[in-house]
């Protein structure tokens, strides 16, 4: 009987054990990257809500623009994590090309508020 995936077993060949170790590393890398991407997306949603609230409260334009700049910087982080996730996933052989990057729902950049 074969052991569960990823478990080191002395009845396996050294090659089987190495393959299991490599597979564990691939899954661990994908998990870390997807957690970072998910964190960015959650932060972007919260930041967007804060910006909307600031606009409803008519906070100073400069303050809102600082919030928008932070949002847009975090959005760039999310874009990088999405790229890393797609490349790592494909390089690991778990999935192959043709994935629409829009699946990950990164919101568009927010424009700065112009002065009056």
Could you report the average pLDDT of every consecutive run of 10 residues in the chain (116 residues)?
A: 51 88 90 95 98 97 98 97 90 68 84 86
Q: Cα 101 from chain centroid?
A: 11
pLDDT of residue 98: 61
What residue has token string 């597979």? 23
Residues 6+ apart with CB under 8 A from 23: 5, 6
17 close to 9: Cβ distance less than 8 angstroms:
yes
pTM over 0.95: no
Gap between the Cα atoms of 56 and 69, Å rounded = 18
Gap between the Cα atoms of 111 and 69, Å rounded = 9
pLDDT of residue 48: 98
DSSP element (H, E) containing 83? helix 61-91
CB neighbour burial string for 12-43, b if at least 16 within 10 angstroms, e if fewer: eeeeebeebeeeeebeebbeebbebbeebbeb
Name the residue ranges covered by the structural domains of the chain.
37-101
């Amino acid at each position: 009987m074969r052991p569960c995936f990823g478990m080191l077993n002395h009845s396996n060949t050294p090659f089987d054990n190495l393959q299991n170790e490599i597979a564990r590393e691939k899954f661990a890398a994908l998990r870390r990257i997807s957690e970072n991407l998910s964190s960015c997306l959650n932060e972007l949603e919260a930041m967007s809500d804060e910006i909307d609230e600031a606009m409803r409260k008519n906070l100073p334009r400069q303050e809102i623009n600082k919030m928008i700049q932070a949002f847009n910087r975090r959005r760039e982080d999310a874009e990088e994590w999405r790229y890393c996730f797609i490349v790592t996933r494909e390089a690991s052989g778990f999935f192959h090309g043709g994935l629409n990057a829009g699946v990950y729902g990164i919101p568009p950049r927010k424009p700065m508020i112009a002065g009056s």
